[in-house]
């Protein structure tokens, strides 16, 4: 079988060709009028014919008419029926629903004796089904309408080659910008049956747009789109709540059968995950009350990282770290370094001194909770009557704060921290408070990376692990360390001393990471990392290692998500009740080594922490995991947590929201036009109602496959141009010989 089409190669196609032809026709007419003065009829006819031939050839060469011939192969194929089981099929509730009308058609088809029919249901996924089963009970519970995804999955499957036609029974509520032309190229006819109705009455929150990250005590905005269908429109109040507490209420003027947007400002007041709800009142006769409320998640953080740096005395180490923190525009630094204490003798009164006493009460009693990270750098707490504040620092870390202690002659045991609340949170254990000697070890050394720590992001000077080890070997040596007694169980040693050992054996740690309650801690047993900057720069010309190290150290302590060893994500943030959530992630231990081929549990918990679901999974060799969770029916905020099977503790977690309406019911309108375009693009039939659809035996299942297209453009060769020139010259020569201009 063949098909032929005609086109033009000139830019603009047929329109340009028509304009050009009309222009040439006018010129020919004027030329023929001039020939009327020729007294000899034979010459008039010859010159007129030559003028017409020249114009026709010129038009053909310029317009480039061409014929396209396409050959087709047609063969009988099997029939597949795709039935929409999304939640929108349950509408409307007052009259006969789309679901009921679709089931009536399926009952009629089930009575047909046509064989070789495959039946599938689709929502967000394609699933095999039985026609008789669907005719008896047709669900409407899927959280999305994905017509394109269902067709793609069907045609890509084993049975896709044998298909001749597909029948899609749906309301057309696919909001994913379906590309109907993509399926026209497949050669399979996609017949469509629309299940729709007129006059649906619904006021809805159609869309909610909010940034996923908000800043503490900084104004944020959420954009809310309100739609009114079948109603009078007018002002509709929109209420923003957090934890059922009203944050703000505004009114938006919505036109009849239209929509309008409003931006609602709000100010987050607490750090962490926050769940907000926006809602509108339920209108009389509202067909979908579920879409009167939507929810969204905001991760509330500080707009700047607040760091408290307390140094016991001026030093190169203090100077370099303070300068690094001050250069970062995302860091709000409060720093103190001690030049005098309460026991120092002065020759002037306090009001005459430029130096101020250390504000211990303000920092550690009033404002401690406002800091993301507290750093004690070579600092001795005793001379400043801080013993009563150390429990507050410990509690601050346990509740989720971060603490780092940097070495020096006034740090660790030398600063008197043994057997204090600070020692409870450090990732190292200090020598006893009495009788300890040799708490500082002098001498230059090049720290080495602890076994298995090459992948830890805090040590990543270069992306490639092998090159990274070489980069550490080129750094300037450090000088001196503070002795510790042992590494606390569960802590992670990143850097070790090459020669100094602990009393119980094993290399002495230089850099150790740990946790205390919900917080993170760091112990750096030297005060000379500044040498990785200026000294290394003098040796190699590259002084950036110091800043790269401390940038990652601060980010790790402040829980930068990009540096977390384990992460999981969900395919969406918001779901409808009973939906299925796809969870993917990468699970690694504290050394950033993948939990390869490990059994894990993905646990779903509500906002109160109660377990509401659990599914087993297994990681691949690289620690990647993927699984599907069936969500509960109850709306609210939920956490998905990843745990190793048989072990305590959460490796990673992610939040999601279950909405009563969700995206599927946010726009409940049927879209029969989409189905009609899909059928037209694939050369198939469209029926605008289940009642109008024929029996299965009448549905065409002939599959048409293109065998190729041949194009013929007779005037595209150079000889066509030569012919135009020859015709023009022939006319010109004759006109000259016969005395015409």
pLDDT, tens digit (0-9, with 9 covering 90-100), for 619-662: 999 899 999 999 999 999 999 999 999 888 899 999 999 998 88
Please determine, for residue 358, whether its predicted confidence score (pLDDT) is greater than 70.
no
Separation of alpha carbons 596 and 589, rounded Å: 10
| Angle (CA) 175 178 180, round 5° | 150
Instruction: Report the pLDDT value the prediction gives residue 172, as an integer from 0 to 100.
Output: 95
Q: For 565-593, what is the mean pLDDT? A: 90
CA atoms of 429 and 458, how far apart (whole Å): 22
The answer regarding whether domain 566-664 maps to CATH 2.60.40.1930 reads: yes
Q: How is residue 506 written in tokens?
A: 């094993």
pLDDT in tens, 115-170: 889 999 999 889 999 999 999 999 998 988 999 999 999 988 755 667 889 999 99
pLDDT the model gives residue 352: 44
Q: Does the CA dihedral 520-525-527-532 come out positive or negative?
A: negative
Q: According to the model, what pLDDT value does residue 533 have?
A: 94
* More confident position, 186 or 251: 251
| pLDDT higher at 355 or 54 | 54
pLDDT value at residue 438: 66
Which of the residue ranges 2-6, 72-76, 232-236, 365-369 has the most confident prediction, judged by mean pLDDT? 232-236
Q: Where are the alpha helices (DSSP H) in 569-699?
A: 662-666, 672-681
Pick the CATH number of 202-297 from 3.20.20.70, 2.60.40.10, 2.40.420.20, 3.40.50.300: 2.60.40.10
CA distances from 437 to 60, 343, 663 (A): 103, 25, 68
Q: What is the structure's pLDDT at 359?
A: 77
pLDDT in tens, 447-503: 999 998 888 999 988 888 778 888 999 999 999 999 999 999 989 999 999 999 998
Q: What percent of the chain has pLDDT over 70?
A: 91
CA 546 distance to own-chain centroid: 33
Query: Which listed CATH number (2.60.40.10, 3.30.2270.10, 3.40.1410.10, 3.40.50.410) goes with 78-189+671-700?
Result: 3.40.50.410
Secondary structure (3-state) at 361? helix
Q: What is the CA radius of gyration of the chain?
A: 39
Confidence of residue 712 (pLDDT cuts 50, 70, 90): confident
- Residue where the block lists tokens 């930068």: 560
Structure tokens, 155: 């045609």
DSSP 197-229: -S---EEEEEEEEE-SEEETTS-EEEEEEEEEE
Report the pLDDT averaged over residues 301-312.
Answer: 89
At residue 687, the pLDDT reads: 96
User: pLDDT digits over 683-705, tens only?
Assistant: 899 999 999 999 998 898 876 65
Report how far residue 250's alpha carbon sits from residue 264's, in angstroms, rounded to the nearest whole number: 7
- Helix H segments across 209-340? 316-327
Question: Same topology for domains 202-297 and 305-562, yes or no?
Answer: no
Phi, psi of 706 (to 5 degrees): -75, 135
CA nearest 452: which of 302, 287, 253, 592? 592
pLDDT bracket for residue 435 (50, 70, 90): very low
Q: Is 520's pLDDT higher than 70?
A: yes
Distance CA 323, CA 316 (A): 11
Give the 3-state secondary structure of residue 697. Answer: helix
Report how far apart the first and last C-alpha atoms of the chain are (Å, whole number): 54
For residue 327 the two structure tokens come to: 């250069």
Please classify residue 374 by burial: count the beta carbons closer than 10 Å to its beta carbon, then call 0-12 exposed, 13-18 middle and 19+ buried.
buried
Estimate to the nearest angstrom the gap between the alpha carbon of 586 and the chain centroid: 16
The domain segmentation of the chain, as residue ranges, is: 2-73+711-737, 78-189+671-700, 202-297, 305-562, 566-664
Task: Cite the DSSP H helix spans in 287-342.
Answer: 316-327
CA dihedral 291, 90, 169, 230 (to 10 degrees): -50
Which pair of structure tokens corresponds to residue 385?
């009557």
Q: Say if CB 152 and CB 174 are below 8 A apart.
A: no
**Number of helices and strands in the chain (H, E):** 16, 37
Q: Are 639 and 590 a contacting pair, CB within 8 Å? A: no
Q: Provide the pLDDT for residue 110.
A: 92
Cα dihedral: 378, 382, 383, 384 (round 10):
90
Contact criterion met (CB below 8 Å) for 154 and 118 = no
* CATH class of the region 305-562: alpha beta
Query: Is there a contact between 283 and 226 (Cβ–Cβ < 8 Å)?
Result: no
C-alpha distances out from residue 140 to 134, 196, 228, 364, 396, Å: 11, 15, 24, 58, 50
Res 354 pLDDT > 50:
no
For the cut 60, the answer to whether the pLDDT of residue 73 exceeds it is no
* Bond before 92 cis per omega within 30 degrees: yes
Average pLDDT over residues 717-727: 78
pLDDT tens digits, 384-405: 888 899 999 999 999 999 999 9
Average of per-residue pLDDT across 31-39: 71
Asked if residue 21 has pLDDT above 90, the reply is no
Average pLDDT, the chain: 87
Would you state the structure tokens that stand for residue 285, as one six-digit string? 């006769």
Residue 604, classified by CB atoms within 10 Å of its CB into exposed (0-12), middle (13-18) or buried (19+), is buried
Q: In what order do the strands lie in the sheet with 567-570?
A: 567-570, 580-586, 624-630
Give the pLDDT score at 348. 45
């Amino acid at each position: 079988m063949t098909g032929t089409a005609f086109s033009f190669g000139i830019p603009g196609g047929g329109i340009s060709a028509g304009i050009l032809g009309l222009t040439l026709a006018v010129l020919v007419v004027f030329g023929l009028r001039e020939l009327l003065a020729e007294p000899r009829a034979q010459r008039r006819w010859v010159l007129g014919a030559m003028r017409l031939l020249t114009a026709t050839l010129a038009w053909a060469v310029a317009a480039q008419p061409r014929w396209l011939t396409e050959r087709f192969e047609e063969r009988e194929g099997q029939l597949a029926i795709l039935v929409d089981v999304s939640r929108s099929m349950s509408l409307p509730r007052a009259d006969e629903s789309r679901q009921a009308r679709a089931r009536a058609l399926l009952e009629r088809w089930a009575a047909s004796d046509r064989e070789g029919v495959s039946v599938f249901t689709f929502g967000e996924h394609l699933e095999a089904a039985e026609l008789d089963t669907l005719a008896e009970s047709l669900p409407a519970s899927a959280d999305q309408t994905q017509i394109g995804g269902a067709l793609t999955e069907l045609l890509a499957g084993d049975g896709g080659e044998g298909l001749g036609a597909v029948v899609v029974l749906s309301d057309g509520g696919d909001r994913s910008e379906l590309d109907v032309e993509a399926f026209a190229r497949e050669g399979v006819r996609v017949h469509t049956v629309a299940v729709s109705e007129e006059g649906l009455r619904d006021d809805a929150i159609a869309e909610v747009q909010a940034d996923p990250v908000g800043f503490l005590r900084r104004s944020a905005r959420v954009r809310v789109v309100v739609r009114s269908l079948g109603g009078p429109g007018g002002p509709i109040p929109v209420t923003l709540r957090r934890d059922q507490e009203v944050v703000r209420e505004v009114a938006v003027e919505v036109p009849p059968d239209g929509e309008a947007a409003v931006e609602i400002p709000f100010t987050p007041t607490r750090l962490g995950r926050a769940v907000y709800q926006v809602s509108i009142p339920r209108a009389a006769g509202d067909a979908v009350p579920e879409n009167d409320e939507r929810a969204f998640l905001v991760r509330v953080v500080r707009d700047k990282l607040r760091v408290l740096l307390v140094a016991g005395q001026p030093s190169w180490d203090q100077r370099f770290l303070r300068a690094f923190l001050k250069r970062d525009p995302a860091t709000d630094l409060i720093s103190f370094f001690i030049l005098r204490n309460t026991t120092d003798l002065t020759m002037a009164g306090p009001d005459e001194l430029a130096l101020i006493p250390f504000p211990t009460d303000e920092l550690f009693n009033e404002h401690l909770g406002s800091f993301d990270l507290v750093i004690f750098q070579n600092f001795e707490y005793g001379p400043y009557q801080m013993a009563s504040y150390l429990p507050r620092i410990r509690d601050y870390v346990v509740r989720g704060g971060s603490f780092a202690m940097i070495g020096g002659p006034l740090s660790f045991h030398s600063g008197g921290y043994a057997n204090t609340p600070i020692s409870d949170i450090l990732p190292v254990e200090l020598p006893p408070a009495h009788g300890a000697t040799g708490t500082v070890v002098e001498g230059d050394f090049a720290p080495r990376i602890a076994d298995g720590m090459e992948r830890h992001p805090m040590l990543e000077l270069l992306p490639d692990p092998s090159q990274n080890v070489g980069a550490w070997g080129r750094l300037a040596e450090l000088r001196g360390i503070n002795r510790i007694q042992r590494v606390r169980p569960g802590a992670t040693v990143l850097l070790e001393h090459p020669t100094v050992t602990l009393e119980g054996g094993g290399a002495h740690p230089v850099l150790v990471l740990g946790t205390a309650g919900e917080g993170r801690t760091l112990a750096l047993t030297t005060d000379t990392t500044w040498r990785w900057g200026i000294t290394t720069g003098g040796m190699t010309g590259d002084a950036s290692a110091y800043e790269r190290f401390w940038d990652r150290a601060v980010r790790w302590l402040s829980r930068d998500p990009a540096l977390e060893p384990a992460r999981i994500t969900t395919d969406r943030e918001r779901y409808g009740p009973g939906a299925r959530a796809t969870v993917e992630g990468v699970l690694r231990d504290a050394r950033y080594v993948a939990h390869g081929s490990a059994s894990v549990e993905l646990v779903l918990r509500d906002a109160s922490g109660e377990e509401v679901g659990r599914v087993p999974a297994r990681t691949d060799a690289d620690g990647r995991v993927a699984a599907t969770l069936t969500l509960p029916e109850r709306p609210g905020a939920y956490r998905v947590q990843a745990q190793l099977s048989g072990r305590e503790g959460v490796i990673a977690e992610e939040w999601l929201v279950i909405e009563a309406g969700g995206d599927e019911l946010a726009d409940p309108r049927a879209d029969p036009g989409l189905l009609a375009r899909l059928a037209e693009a694939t050369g198939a039939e469209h029926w605008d109602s289940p009642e109008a659809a024929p029996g299965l035996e009448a549905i065409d299942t002939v599959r048409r496959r293109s065998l190729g297209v041949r194009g013929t453009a007779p005037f595209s060769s150079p000889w066509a141009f030569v012919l135009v020139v020859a015709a023009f010259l022939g006319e010109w020569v004759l006109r000259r010989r016969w005395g015409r201009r």
